[in-house]
A and B are shown apart, each in its own frame.
Chain A
Amino acid sequence: GAVVSQHPSRVICKSGTSVKIECRSLDFQATTMFWYRQFPKQSLMLMATSNEGSKATYEQGVEKDKFLINHASLTLSTLTVTSAHPEDSSFYICSAIRTSGGEYEQYFGPGTRLTVT
């Protein structure tokens, strides 16, 4: 089946630095990917929609200048957390849409655990 990968699986960074998280669709092309954030014991919160070749669409309350999204190819979207702070520590999950024979399926990545110290 379709697979979505994320890299790294976990990262620890110091406050004030930037961190890049990659989301790749391994065996299909995805014009649309999504980025979610999940805090402990909470549900997934949609952050933004990443569209290949165009600017990302951010959900209300998500700072676009802090969470930079680049969808440069049909198999790769990146999320960069700029000037990270401890409150940005969270589990970041991406998903990708695969179209096949007129049907659409959404696959989730395994997530990236970000810890900001």
Chain B
Amino acid sequence: DADVTQTPRNRITKTGKRIMLECSQTKGHDRMYWYRQDPGLGLRLIYYSFDVKDINKGEISDGYSVSRQAQAKFSLSLESAIPNQTALYFCATSEANGLGAGELFFGEGSRLTVL
């Protein structure tokens, strides 16, 4: 089984619908992240969490919200989806360390299409 699991892997929805993408991990890492990938733009950080009580905005958080339900679970919500949120979304985890940002471990991605 994958260490970082994302559900659903693929989702097609309509404008205005609420969507939740879920991420669970078995790596025992404290830090979890949500990234968005668009062709030609690389990966951009949406939100990140360093523990259950810690939530931080990334560079493109508008239109998104997150919930850290447990150390192992971090979900991303689109309250009212719009077409330009069509993208590939990745969850990632990393260990806490005193050096700053370390190696990220990625899930396989959730492809979201908003019509």
| Same complex origin of A and B | no
